[in-house]
Amino acid sequence: MSIRKILFWFHLIVGCSAAIFIFLMSITGGLLTYERQMIKAGQQADYPIIAADAKRLSLTEIKNIASTYPVKRSLSITLLNEDNAPVVIRDGRRTLAYLHPVTGEKLIEPGKESTQFWRKLRAFHRWLTFDGSFSEGGRWVNGIANAIFVLLAITGIYLWLPKRYNRRAFKKQLTLPGNYTSTKARDYQWHNVFGIYLTPVLFVLAATALFFSFDWPGDGLKKVVSTETVKELAKPIALESSLVAQVKSTETQVATLKTAYPEWQSIRFSVAKAPHNVSIYTVDNGNGGEPTKRLSVAVDNITGEIVDTSGFDDYSTYRKIRNWVRFAHTGEYYGVVGQTIAGIASFLACLLVYTGIMLSWRRWKNRKK
């Protein structure tokens, strides 16, 4: 049996065995294309209506309110560059409250129902659960299906190659004719043409998904690339008591950041228990899914000036790759264009599953005859 025939039967049998799971991941992945934007739209619809001349709380007042919340990790405040946006109070990664920017009262979570819907859909995409909960079994099933998807992409490229290497043969494999002699011919052509164009994107989506399902891709990556940060950000040191009175207000420091980064979308900072020589801020100039647009900024508490910054280029090679993996999987690393390409590829992957199954079904029926 030739190598081509071995790979063909491997492609067919393995593809059919994982078809339902690949289909489910593909269609849910397509539906999740603009998840971040949809969640944001749901939240913005619930933002409080604030008069243009309303006096907003100062950051000192917000910090005082935030300090009343019990925390287990680290208390932080996030400011959003959106009209009427609430102030977000967090304990580590856990959200404690959304504060009204004028009254300081705790608001009902904006866009809660919308957020829950998208979280449940994402959980089904990752773990095959309907209630949004984690499932080890679901993660393994999807992980195996993703591994199979990677193998299908690789073997598919080989099987796509025409038996005769000439211009006419390649043109046939790369274009869709206007008419088809049968549905079988149509399905075959769709599977080949869409498959070869989608393979690069689908390979990235499936390969990056392996990092979410298994530990071994991340562990293996750590062994072959550097985990040392290129440049460490200036670390806060306790301030001498004689200098405490000279500390610039958070209001002044944030104003400096807004001037330095006019495209800022969010600014997050921790509420320190004691004054330090510098305050660390996280400034995000993107939509939250673009790590190259996010940076940490150290501001001198005495002068109020920016003294150090650390961004994507300063990460370790390992952290850069892991950030790329996380956001390349959704396409967000490349902005809205990347999201759109990933979404279209995910939906068209459903077509590959359908045409592959139909071709296999017809082959099986013909063999029985």
- The whole-angstrom separation of Cα 12 and Cα 24 is 18
Q: What is the CB neighbour count within 10 angstroms for residue 145?
A: 22
346-362 burial string, b = 16+ CB within 10 Å, else e?
Answer: bebbbbbbebbbbbbee
Instruction: Summarize pLDDT for 57-89 with one digit per residue, the tens.
Output: 999 999 999 999 999 999 999 999 999 999 999
Instruction: Summarize pLDDT for 341-366 with one digit per residue, the tens.
Output: 999 999 999 999 999 999 999 988 87
CA of 170: how far to CAs of 71, 121, 184, 192, 227, in Å?
A: 63, 40, 20, 11, 44
Taking residues 93-102, report their average pLDDT.
Answer: 96
- The whole-angstrom separation of Cα 188 and Cα 195 is 10
Q: pLDDT-derived band of residue 232, with 50, 70 and 90 as boundaries?
A: confident
The highest-level CATH class for domain 241-315 is: alpha beta
Instruction: Summarize pLDDT for 161-208 with one digit per residue, the tens.
Output: 998 888 888 998 999 987 888 999 999 999 999 999 999 999 999 999
Question: What is the percentage of the chain residues whose pLDDT exceeds 90?
Answer: 85
Q: pLDDT-derived band of residue 37, with 50, 70 and 90 as boundaries?
A: very high
- Residues 232 and 238 sit within 8 Å (Cβ to Cβ): no
* Whether pLDDT at 288 is above 70: yes
Record the tokens describing residue 140, joined without a space.
Answer: 């393994």
- The whole-angstrom separation of Cα 263 and Cα 294 is 11
| Most confident listed range (134-138, 153-157, 168-172) | 153-157
Q: pLDDT value at position 366?
A: 79
Look at 129 and 1; give whichever has higher pLDDT: 129
Global pTM reads 0.91
- The whole-angstrom separation of Cα 111 and Cα 113 is 6
Taking residues 91-115, report their average pLDDT.
Answer: 96
Closest to 197 (Cα-Cα) out of 189, 186, 208: 189
Element (H, E) at 88: strand 87-91
Q: pLDDT-derived band of residue 270, with 50, 70 and 90 as boundaries?
A: very high
Q: pLDDT value at position 272?
A: 86
Q: pLDDT-derived band of residue 369, with 50, 70 and 90 as boundaries?
A: low
- Residues 293 and 275 sit within 8 Å (Cβ to Cβ): no
Sign of CA dihedral 202, 206, 207, 212: positive
Closest to 127 (Cα-Cα) out of 140, 108, 116: 140
- The whole-angstrom separation of Cα 110 and Cα 88 is 11
* Whether pLDDT at 313 is above 70: yes
Q: pLDDT value at position 196?
A: 97
Q: So where are the chain's domains?
A: 3-36+115-226+334-368, 47-110, 241-315
CA of 289: how far to CAs of 24, 332, 342, in Å?
A: 24, 5, 14
Taking residues 251-269, report their average pLDDT.
Answer: 97
CA of 251: how far to CAs of 37, 146, 199, 353, in Å?
A: 29, 48, 50, 55
* Whether pLDDT at 368 is above 80: no
- The whole-angstrom separation of Cα 271 and Cα 235 is 15
